[in-house]
Every structure is written in C-alpha cells, then in structure tokens.
C-alpha cells in the first residue's frame, strides 16, 4: 500500500470510497493492520483501558502516548498514524504545542483532540505550525465525568444544531478530519455532507466517510465481557487476526459494516 497521507484521505472522500481506521498500540499489530489495508492507525488513549486496565482514559499521560506512537511507527507499513492527545494535555495552546510536538517527533502524522468549537484557536495555531488535527466530537471519553457516563450525544435538537455548527467552525479553523462517536446516524450523515474534510464514525452510522473501532473490541476481546452496540466481532469465523482485519476493511469499504443495528437514532 502506498503511504497514506491527508491528500489520500481527501481523495477517498471525494470519490466516495470509505476509509478504514483501527486503534493500534504496538509494532506487530501495526504491521498486520497496514498489510490488511487499514488506512489509519489510531494510537488511542483507549490504551489506558485495554492495555493498562484503567476504568477510563483519564490516567493516560503524553509520555505513554509517545511511547506507543513510536512503537506503532516501527511496525507501520504505509498507514497514516493518528495519535490521541490525552486528558488535560492541551488545555492551553502552549501546552498543546509542546505535547503535540512530542507525539509528532515520535512518529504521528496527525493528532486528535477531543472537544468542540472552543478548540478553534488551538486547531488553527497547530495547523499553522505544521500539525494536522482531527477533532473528536460527540461522545468524548475524556469528558466522561461531565457527560455523566458513556452516552449517545446529539439526540436533542439543540445539541444536534450545536454539533453541526461546531463541525463547520472546526473545519474553518483548519481541522483536517473529524471523528464522531456515538452520534445519531442521521446527524452524522448531515455533518459528513456539511463539511469538506473526511469524517470518521464510531457508533455514528454508515454515512460517514469511514469507520473506526477499538482493535480489541473487533477481535472479541473485552475486559468487561460486554461489547458496545456499535461493535462487531470480526474474529468470528476467521482463521487468524490478519484475516479479521481484512474482513473489517472489506466490510467498511463495501458498507456492509456498520449495519443499522450498530447505529443510534435521534
């Protein structure tokens, strides 16, 4: 697979080909996923839960993230590496500059921040300094204590209107990509049409420009034993992990996954 860049992702959106993203935290899985055709490897702060055993992503540090980004980089074969900036590591632009620089030096091609239109100035300043930004909207796990748990976001009309406005404002501020988590499928479709940048969904229906899952979830691994509604076990019926990754990429590309049963209504 030729190296995936922002230009590649923009071209995929333009021609209507879906983008496959998976979380990844080490060199071995990076190689397998890239060879299976996964275009974006998300080094997620989800590692706090699936690798470190915490009950949220909040304990993860920027040093943790940089370590795993560097590990993924060593095994990667052409995928774009997207790195989460962890909780309270971008509360000021200056803090964001320092922590994003560490992640980019470790091997990230883009960083992901959780928030809304209030991130506009930080997004703009990072983009001006050569750091592409993906903004995570909807259910933002770093804000779990404010949200009162892991709940679908955007079901109320005022919330939906605000999320649409935030998405447009963030694109205007220079965001290179958006990620929508646990958002009603119809709202996610509207946002995807309203912006010119790629929109990736997780629990956001099939109309987004691409999909992402936590790797452990799609391989049928869960510490809690309960998979979220938007997850499908791609390991079922497959001989090995590479086959499971290939099945995921195929189903994302042909829009077999996600099905209506994996989404949420308003």
User: Residue 75 CA to chain centroid, in angstroms?
Assistant: 19
Q: Is 254 annotated as a binding residue?
A: no
**Is residue 63 packed enough to be buried (19+ CB in 10 Å), middle (13-18) or exposed (0-12)?**
exposed
d(CA 6, CA 13): 11
242 within domain boundaries: yes
Residue 72 lies in a domain: yes
Domain that holds residue 55: 6-262
pLDDT computed for residue 1 by the predictor: 66
CATH no. for residue 152? 3.20.20.60
∠211-231-257 over CA atoms, to 5°?
50
112 is in an annotated binding site: yes
pLDDT of residue 226: 80
114 annotated as ligand-binding: yes
Annotation says 17 is catalytic = no
Q: Quick one: tokens of 122?
A: 């930080």
CA neighbor of 39 nearest in space, from 69, 83, 73, 9: 9
- Encode pLDDT of 211-248 as tens digits: 999 999 999 998 777 889 999 999 999 999 999 999 99
Task: Indicate whether 198 belongs to any domain.
Answer: yes
Give the number of domains in the chain: 1
User: Which one of 39, 102, 171, 181 is the catalytic residue?
Assistant: 181
Q: What's the maximum distance between 2 C-alpha atoms anywhere in the chain?
A: 48
pLDDT of res. 223: 75
The answer for 115, left when phi > 0, alpha when psi is -120 to 50, beta otherwise, is left
Q: Is residue 114 part of a domain?
A: yes
Instruction: Give the per-residue pLDDT at 222.
Output: 82
Task: Tell me which long-range contacts 235-241 makes (C-beta under 8 A, separation of at least 24).
Answer: 241/29, 241/32
Asked if 133 and 127 touch (Cβ cutoff 8 Å), the reply is yes
C-alpha of 78 from chain center: 18
84 is in an annotated binding site: yes
- Provide the residue-wise pLDDT of the chain in tens; the chain has 266 residues: 679 999 999 999 999 999 999 999 999 999 999 999 999 999 999 999 999 999 999 999 999 999 999 999 999 999 999 999 999 999 999 999 999 999 999 999 999 999 999 999 999 999 999 999 999 999 999 988 888 778 899 999 999 999 999 999 999 999 999 999 999 999 999 999 999 999 999 999 999 999 999 999 999 998 777 889 999 999 999 999 999 999 999 999 999 999 999 999 98
Q: Is 248 a member of any domain?
A: yes
56 assigned to a ligand binding site: no
């Amino acid at each position: 697979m030729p190296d995936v860049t922002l230009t590649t992702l923009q071209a995929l959106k333009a021609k209507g080909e879906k983008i496959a993203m998976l979380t990844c935290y080490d060199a071995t899985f990076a190689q397998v996923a890239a060879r299976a055709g996964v275009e974006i490897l998300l080094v997620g702060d989800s590692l706090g839960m699936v690798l470190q055993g915490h009950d949220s992503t909040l304990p993860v540090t920027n040093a943790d993230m940089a370590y795993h980004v560097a590990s993924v980089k060593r095994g990667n074969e052409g995928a774009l590496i997207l790195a989460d900036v962890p909780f309270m590591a971008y509360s000021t632009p200056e803090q964001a500059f320092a922590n994003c620089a560490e992640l980019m030096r470790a091997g990230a091609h883009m960083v992901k921040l959780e928030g809304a239109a209030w991130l506009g100035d930080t997004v703009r300043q990072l983009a001006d300094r050569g750091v592409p930004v993906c903004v995570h909207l909807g259910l933002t796990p770093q804000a779990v204590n404010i949200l009162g748990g892991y709940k679908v976001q955007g079901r109320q009309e005022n919330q939906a209107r605000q999320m649409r406005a935030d998405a447009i404002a963030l694109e205007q501020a220079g965001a290179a990509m958006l990620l929508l988590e646990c958002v009603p499928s119809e709202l996610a479709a509207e946002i995807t049409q309203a912006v010119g940048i790629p929109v990736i969904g997780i629990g956001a229906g099939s109309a987004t420009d691409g999909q992402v899952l936590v790797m452990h979830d799609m391989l049928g691994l869960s510490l809690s034993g309960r998979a979220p509604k938007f997850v499908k076990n791609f390991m079922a019926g497959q001989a090995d992990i590479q086959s499971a990754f290939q099945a995921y990429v195929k189903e994302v590309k042909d829009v077999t996954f996600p099905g209506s049963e994996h989404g949420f209504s308003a």
